[in-house]
C-alpha cells in the first residue's frame, strides 16, 4: 500500500527516481527495440556494481538487432564490488565471466598493477590470497586472482620512498585494557590512544620527508572522524575530513549563531559573551576576558554584557548596532554577509582551515537566504532556528573546497576513496563490526521477500520467526563478504606504504575478544600478521606542539622514478562543450577533473582578498552591462533610491542576484566600475555604435550561441559583448577579478582560452572579417587584448 502511494505521489509531481530512469528505459526498449539499432558498441565500466535492472537494460540494447547484436565490452573487478546497498549483484558479473571463459566471448585478466611497489604488492597478495583461499564469496567460488608487478618496472632503478625504520605494511594495534591506575579502559579510549599513535607515526613520516598531502586515512564510516580529529589537532597535523557532517557544531557556525542572537537581542548575555569571544569582532583575548570578568561584578541582571560594551567598547557597540540595523532592514543573511566582505577574522584560523571556514560561512548565509524565502526576514526567528540546529547538532555536511595541491592529510571513508591512490594509506578502524538492523517490525529481504522481527502473539515474543533466522544468517554472510571486499579496496589505495590500525580488548588468554571486528579478526588470522606489528618503542611519546616557524617549514618528499607507459588512443568527441569547460581543460586538465567530474569547488572560485567581489557580484555587473545604454544619466536607474523603484527593479533580476543589489553599501563601488567603463576607449567606441542608427543593430550583449562541429560536438555558451563597425568585429569578455590575481599563477591563461573559444565561434560565423577580442577588467578599468591567431580545434 505504501509503495502504491509513493508511486502515485511521484506520478502526480511528475518526478522520476534514479531507478525509475532505468526501469522506464528498459520498458521503452521492450516496446520500441528499434531505438537501440543505432548502437554498435556498448562499453560498461565498473561492471561489478551492476544490478539486475541495469543488466537487463544492457542486454536489451545488445540484442536489439537480432541479425547483428551490438558488441559488448565490460570492465570490472569482482574483488571491488562494494555497492550492495545499491542492489549491486556480484553474480551478474560472475555469470558474464563464466560465459566468456566458456567461449561466448573473451576473458582478459588484467593482472599487472602499476600502483604499488613490488614489496607491498606481494604482501597484499599473501594477505588476500589467504582470506579468499576458498573463493571471494560463499555463493561464488571464484578464486582470488593475484596482482602482478609489471616486468617493465622490475629492472628499473626505483628509489624507494620507504625509510629503514618503518616497513611498507604495518599493523598498529592498540590493546590497552587498563590505565595506569588499574581502571578498566573503554573501547572509545582505546580508539583515542590508537588515533594518537597514528598521529605520532604520521609526524615521524613527515619528518622523514613525506608531505602531508601524500598521506590519507581511510575509515569504514564517519563515526571514526572524532578521535582522529582530536589526535591530529593535538599533534598540529593539518587535516581535512571529507564529507564531515558536523556543520552545525563547527566553531564558525556557533560563532555566527552567537552573532545573530546578539543582533536579535543585544541584552542576551550568553550570546554577546559568545560574540565577544569569537574572532568576528577581532578583539584581543585580554580584552574579551576583561569584558567577561567585569560582567560578573555587575549585579543588575539581564543586559550586563551590553551595558559594559556600550560603556567601555564604543567601537564594538557601534559595529553591533550597525549590523543590527542591517539585519532588521535587509535580513539576517545580509548582516552575516559582512563576514565575507571583511574576512580579516579568518586570520585567527590556521591557513589550511581558512578555505573550509570561509566556505562554511558562505554556505550558512545561503541557508539563511532559504529561511528568509520561506519564512521572511525575521531576525529573531532565524536566530532561534540556528540555536536549535546547533544545540541538537543536526547532522549536516560541511563544505570542503580542497584541491590536491593543499598540503594536508585527507581523512575519508573507503567508499569516497574508490578510484584514488596515495603514497601512504592508513586504514583506521579495523575493529569496526556490523550492527544488525533494529527497531523495525517488518524488514525487507532479498532472500525471503519480507520478514517479521517477532511474533505478534505476546506469549511468543521471545522467539524469532524461522524466516528471520534465515534472513539474518544470509544477510549477515553477504554483509561480511562485502566488508572484506571493502577492506581490499582500502588496502589497494596504497602506493608505497600501508598502515593498518585497529584496537580491541584481550581476553584472559591474551587473545582478541569475540567482539573484534571482521577486518581485524581476518588480519590476525593471517600467518604473517605477527611480522607486521609495529613495536611500541618505535612509536615514541606524543610530541609537543611545534612553533609557527616549525609548522610552516616545507619538507619535500622523495621522488619515485617510474617508467611512463603510454599508447596513442584515438580521440572521442564529447556531446557538448562550453567555453568554461574548454578553458579549464586547456589550462589545467586536472582542475577540470576536480570541478566537472568530481564536483569539487575550485580554489579560485573563492574570493581572493577582503575586497568586494565574488561570482554573484560579477553576474549583477554583467546583467547591468547587457541592458545599459552607457549614458551617464541612465546609470542611476539601476541603483534607484526610492524603495518602490528598487522593488520594481528587483523583480526583473534573477532571484540569486537580488540580495547583491539590495546591499546599498557597495553601490558606490559598482557605479564607479561602470562609469569608468563608460569613459574607457572601449566604452566610448561602444557608445558610438549604440548611438548610430546604422550600426545600432550590430551590437549583441549576453548573446547565446550553439555551434555544431563536424566531429559531433556542440559548442555552446554566451558571449558578453560583440559589436560590428567599419574596422571589423569586436569581442569582449568582462571580468571583475583583480589584475594581480590574473597575473599570478597564470590565471590569464585560463581567461585567454575562454576568449579564444568565443573567437573561434565568431570566426566560423564571419570567416572573412577581422576580429578584435580581449578581456575588460572592470575593477581596474583596464582592457587586455587577446591574440586572434591559432584559434582552431
Backbone conformation region of residue 59, classed left if phi is above 0, alpha if psi is from -120 to 50, else beta:
alpha
Say if residue 771 is in the same domain as residue 634: yes
Between CA 382 and CA 718 the distance in angstroms is 38
Three-state DSSP class for 501? strand
CA 675 to chain centre: 39
The rounded percent of the chain whose pLDDT value lies above 90 is 33
In a domain, 408, yes or no: no
Q: Per-residue confidence at 64, pLDDT binned at 50, 70, 90?
A: confident
Between CA 705 and CA 179 the distance in angstroms is 71
CA nearest neighbour of 427 among 333, 522, 501, 341: 501
Query: Using one digit for the tens of pLDDT, what is the confidence trace for 628-638?
Result: 989 999 999 99
Q: Is residue 190 scored above 60 in pLDDT? A: yes
Buried b / exposed e over 624-633, threshold 16 CB at 10 Å, is bbeebebeee
Q: Is residue 551 scored above 80 in pLDDT? A: no
Residue 68's CATH number: 3.40.50.300
Q: Is residue 545 scored above 50 in pLDDT? A: no
Given 544, 566, 588, the domain boundary residue is 566
User: For residue 159, which phi and psi values (nearest 5 degrees)?
Assistant: -85, 120
In a domain, 506, yes or no: yes
Query: Quick one: 792 exposed, middle or buried, by C-beta within 10 A (0-12, 13-18, 19+)?
Result: exposed
Q: Per-residue confidence at 90, pLDDT binned at 50, 70, 90?
A: confident
Residue 730's CATH number: 3.90.320.10
Q: Per-residue confidence at 162, pLDDT binned at 50, 70, 90?
A: very low
In a domain, 702, yes or no: yes
The residue-averaged pLDDT of 256-262 equals 94
Q: Which residue has the cell 543573511?
A: 333
In a domain, 401, yes or no: no
Give the pairing type, strands 41-44 and 442-445.
unpaired
Which residue has better confidence, 380 or 564? Answer: 380
Which residue has better confidence, 439 or 645? Answer: 645
Say if residue 618 is in the same domain as residue 703: yes
Given 64, 81, 104, the domain boundary residue is 104
Q: Given this model, what pLDDT does residue 693 score?
A: 74
Which residue has better confidence, 539 or 730? Answer: 730
Q: Given this model, what pLDDT does residue 129 score?
A: 94
In a domain, 396, yes or no: no
Query: Using one digit for the tens of pLDDT, what is the confidence trace for 651-665?
Result: 888 877 888 888 888
Give the pairing type, strands 442-445 and 449-452.
antiparallel
Q: Given this model, what pLDDT does residue 610 score?
A: 43
Of 97-106, 368-377, 737-746, give the lowest mean pLDDT range: 737-746
Which residue has better confidence, 533 or 680? Answer: 680
Say if residue 621 is in the same domain as residue 757: yes
Q: Is residue 428 scored above 70 in pLDDT? A: yes
The residue-averaged pLDDT of 745-753 equals 75
Query: Quick one: 765 exposed, middle or buried, by C-beta within 10 A (0-12, 13-18, 19+)?
Result: exposed
Given 342, 374, 391, the domain boundary residue is 391
Q: Per-residue confidence at 240, pLDDT binned at 50, 70, 90?
A: confident
Q: In the beta sheet, which residues pair with residue 774?
A: 732, 785
User: Are the C-beta atoms of residues 499 and 425 closer than 8 Å to each other?
Assistant: yes
Say if residue 9 is in the same domain as residue 142: no
Of 111-115, 404-408, 417-421, 768-772, give the lowest mean pLDDT range: 404-408
In a domain, 399, yes or no: no
Apex CA 278: angle with CA 275 and CA 283, to 5°? 95
Say if residue 357 is in the same domain as residue 430: no
Q: Is residue 124 scored above 90 in pLDDT? A: yes
Q: Is residue 391 scored above 80 in pLDDT? A: yes
Three-state DSSP class for 574? coil
Q: Per-residue confidence at 337, pLDDT binned at 50, 70, 90?
A: confident
In a domain, 85, yes or no: yes
Q: Which of 36-40, 499-503, 504-508 tops mean pLDDT?
A: 499-503
Say if residue 540 is in the same domain as residue 613: no
Residue 301's CATH number: 1.10.486.10
The residue-averaged pLDDT of 24-30 equals 87
Question: CB neighbours of 615 closer than 8 A, spacing ≥ 6?
Answer: 605
Q: Given this model, what pLDDT does residue 108 score?
A: 93
The residue-averaged pLDDT of 251-258 equals 93
Q: Is residue 583 scored above 60 in pLDDT? A: yes
The residue-averaged pLDDT of 421-443 equals 81
Say if residue 195 is in the same domain as residue 61: no
User: Are the C-beta atoms of residues 447 and 472 closer than 8 Å to each other?
Assistant: no
Apex CA 335: angle with CA 330 and CA 341, to 5°? 120
Three-state DSSP class for 153? helix
Identify the sign of the CA torsion 167, 171, 175, 179.
Answer: positive
Q: Is residue 549 scored above 60 in pLDDT? A: no
Of 112-116, 425-429, 537-541, 705-709, give the lowest mean pLDDT range: 537-541
Q: Given this model, what pLDDT does residue 462 score?
A: 63
Say if residue 493 is in the same domain as residue 511: yes
Say if residue 466 is in the same domain as residue 361: no
Say if residue 610 is in the same domain as residue 750: yes
Q: Given this model, what pLDDT does residue 639 score?
A: 93
Q: Given this model, what pLDDT does residue 535 score?
A: 66
Q: Given this model, what pLDDT does residue 289 score?
A: 85
Q: Given this model, what pLDDT does residue 34 score?
A: 84
Counting the structural domains of the chain, the total is 4
Q: Given this model, what pLDDT does residue 637 score?
A: 92
Residue 444's CATH number: 3.40.50
Q: Is residue 288 scored above 70 in pLDDT? A: yes
Q: Which residue has the cell 576576558?
A: 289
Q: Per-residue confidence at 459, pLDDT binned at 50, 70, 90?
A: low
Query: Using one digit for the tens of pLDDT, what is the confidence trace for 472-503?
Result: 888 888 889 999 999 999 999 999 999 999 99
Say if residue 587 is in the same domain as residue 550: no
Round the average pLDDT of the chain to a whole number and report it.
Answer: 82
Q: Given this model, what pLDDT does residue 563 score?
A: 29
What cell numbers appear for 619 in the block?
A: 553576474
The residue-averaged pLDDT of 261-286 equals 90
Say if residue 97 is in the same domain as residue 120: no
Q: Per-residue confidence at 604, pLDDT binned at 50, 70, 90?
A: low
Domain that holds residue 279: 247-391
- Provide Rg for the chain, Cα atoms: 31
In a domain, 411, yes or no: no
User: Are the C-beta atoms of residues 97 and 142 closer than 8 Å to each other?
Assistant: yes
Q: Given this model, what pLDDT does residue 156 score?
A: 59
Between CA 46 and CA 41 the distance in angstroms is 17
Amino acid at each position: 500500500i505504501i509503495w502504491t502511494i509513493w508511486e502515485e505521489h511521484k506520478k502526480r509531481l511528475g518526478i522520476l527516481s534514479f531507478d525509475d530512469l532505468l526501469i522506464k528505459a528498459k520498458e521503452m526498449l521492450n516496446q520500441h527495440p528499434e531505438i537501440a539499432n543505432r548502437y554498435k558498441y556498448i562499453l560498461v565500466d565498473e561492471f561489478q556494481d551492476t544490478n539486475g535492472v541495469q543488466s537487463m537494460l544492457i542486454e536489451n540494447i545488445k540484442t536489439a538487432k537480432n541479425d547483428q547484436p551490438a558488441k559488448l565490452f565490460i570492465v570490472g573487478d569482482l574483488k571491488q564490488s562494494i555497492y550492495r546497498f545499491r542492489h549491486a549483484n556480484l553474480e551478474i558479473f560472475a555469470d558474464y565471466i563464466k560465459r566468456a571463459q566458456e567461449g561466448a566471448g573473451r576473458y582478459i585478466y588484467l593482472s599487472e598493477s602499476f600502483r604499488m611497489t613490488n614489496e607491498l604488492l606481494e604482501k597484499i597478495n599473501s594477505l588476500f590470497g589467504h582470506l579468499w583461499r576458498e573463493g571471494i564469496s560463499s555463493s561464488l567460488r571464484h578464486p582470488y586472482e593475484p596482482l602482478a608487478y609489471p616486468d617493465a618496472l622490475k629492472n628499473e632503478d626505483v628509489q624507494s620512498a620507504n625509510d629503514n625504520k618503518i616497513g611498507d605494511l604495518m599493523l598498529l594495534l592498540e590493546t590497552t585494557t587498563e590505565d595506569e591506575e588499574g581502571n578498566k579502559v573503554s573501547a572509545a579510549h582505546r580508539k583515542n590512544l590508537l588515533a594518537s599513535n597514528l598521529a605520532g607515526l604520521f609526524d615521524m613520516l613527515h619528518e622523514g620527508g613525506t608531505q602531508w598531502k601524500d598521506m590519507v586515512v581511510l575509515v569504514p564510516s564517519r563515526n571514526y572522524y572524532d578521535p582522529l580529529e582530536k589526535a591530529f589537532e593535538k599533534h598540529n597535523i593539518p587535516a581535512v575530513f571529507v564529507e564531515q557532517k558536523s556543520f552545525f557544531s563547527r566553531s564558525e557556525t556557533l560563532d555566527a549563531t552567537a552573532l545573530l542572537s546578539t543582533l536579535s537581542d543585544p541584552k542576551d548575555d550568553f550570546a554577546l559573551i559568545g560574540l565577544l569571544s569569537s574572532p568576528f569582532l577581532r578583539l584581543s583575548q585580554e580584552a574579551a576576558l576583561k569584558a567577561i570578568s567585569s560582567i560578573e561584578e555587575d549585579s543588575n541582571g539581564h543586559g550586563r554584557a551590553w551595558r559594559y560594551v556600550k560603556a567601555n567598547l564604543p567601537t564594538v557597540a557601534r559595529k553591533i548596532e550597525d549590523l543590527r540595523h542591517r539585519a532588521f532592514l535587509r535580513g539576517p543573511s545580509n548582516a552575516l554577509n559582512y563576514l565575507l566582505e571583511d574576512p580579516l577574522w579568518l586570520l585567527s584560523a590556521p591557513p589550511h582551515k581558512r578555505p573550509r571556514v570561509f566556505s562554511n560561512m558562505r554556505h550558512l548565509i545561503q541557508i539563511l537566504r532559504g529561511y528568509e524565502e520561506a519564512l521572511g526576514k525575521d531576525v529573531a526567528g532565524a536566530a532561534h532556528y540556528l540555536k536549535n540546529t546547533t544545540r541538537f547538532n543536526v547532522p549536516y555536511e560541511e563544505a570542503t573546497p580542497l584541491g590536491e595541491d593543499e598540503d594536508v592529510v585527507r581523512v575519508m571513508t573507503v567508499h569516497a576513496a574508490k578510484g584514488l591512490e596515495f603514497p601512504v594509506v592508513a586504514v583506521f578502524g579495523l575493529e569496526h563490526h556490523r550492527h544488525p538492523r533494529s527497531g523495525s517490525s517488518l524488514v525487507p529481504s532479498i532472500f525471503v521477500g519480507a520478514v517479521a522481527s517477532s511474533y505478534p502473539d505476546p506469549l511468543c515474543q521471545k522467539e524469532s520467526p524461522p524466516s528471520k533466522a534465515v534472513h539474518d544468517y544470509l544477510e549477515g554472510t553477504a554483509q561480511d563478504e562485502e566488508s572484506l571486499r571493502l577492506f581490499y579496496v582500502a588496502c589497494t589505495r596504497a602506493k608505497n606504504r600501508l598502515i593498518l590500525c585497529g584496537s580491541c580488548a584481550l581476553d584472559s588468554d591474551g587473545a582478541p575478544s569475540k567482539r573484534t571486528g571482521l577486518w581485524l579478526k581476518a588480519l590476525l588470522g593471517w600467518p604473517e600478521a605477527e611480522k607486521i606489528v609495529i613495536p611500541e618503542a618505535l612509536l615514541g611519546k606524543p610530541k609537543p606542539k611545534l612553533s609557527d616557524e616549525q609548522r610552516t617549514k616545507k619538507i619535500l618528499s622523495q621522488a619515485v622514478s617510474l617508467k611512463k607507459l603510454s599508447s596513442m588512443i584515438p580521440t572521442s568527441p564529447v556531446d557538448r562543450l562550453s567555453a568554461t569547460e574548454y578553458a579549464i581543460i586547456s589550462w589545467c586538465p586536472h582542475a577540470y577533473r576536480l570541478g566537472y567530474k568530481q564536483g569539487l569547488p575550485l580554489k579560485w572560485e573563492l574570493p581572493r582578498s577582503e575586497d568586494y567581489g565574488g561570482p554573484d557580484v560579477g553576474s549583477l555587473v554583467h546583467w547591468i552591462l547587457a541592458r545599459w545604454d552607457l549614458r551617464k544619466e541612465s546609470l542611476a536607474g539601476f541603483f534607484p533610491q526610492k524603495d518602490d523603484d528598487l522593488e520594481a527593479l528587483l523583480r526583473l533580476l534573477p532571484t540569486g542576484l537580488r540580495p547583491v543589489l539590495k546591499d546599498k553599501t557597495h553601490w558606490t563601488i559598482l557605479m564607479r566600475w561602470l562609469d569608468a567603463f563608460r569613459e574607457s576607449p572601449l566604452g566610448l567606441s561602444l557608445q558610438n555604435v549604440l548611438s548610430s542608427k546604422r550600426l545600432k543593430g550590430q551590437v549583441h550583449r549576453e548573446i547565446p550561441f550553439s555551434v555544431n562541429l563536424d566531429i559531433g560536438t556542440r559548442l555552446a555558451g554566451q558571449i558578453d559583448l560583440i559589436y560590428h563597425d567599419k574596422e571589423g568585429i569586436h569581442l569582449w569578455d568582462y571580468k571583475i577579478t583583480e589584475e594581480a590575481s590574473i597575473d599570478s599563477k597564470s590565471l590569464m591563461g585560463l581567461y585567454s582560452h575562454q576568449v579564444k573559444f568565443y573567437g573561434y565561434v565568431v570566426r566560423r560565423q564571419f570567416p572573412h572579417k577581422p576580429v578584435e577580442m580581449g578581456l575588460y577588467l572592470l575593477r581596474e578599468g583596464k582592457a587586455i587584448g587577446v591574440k586572434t591567431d591559432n584559434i582552431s580545434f
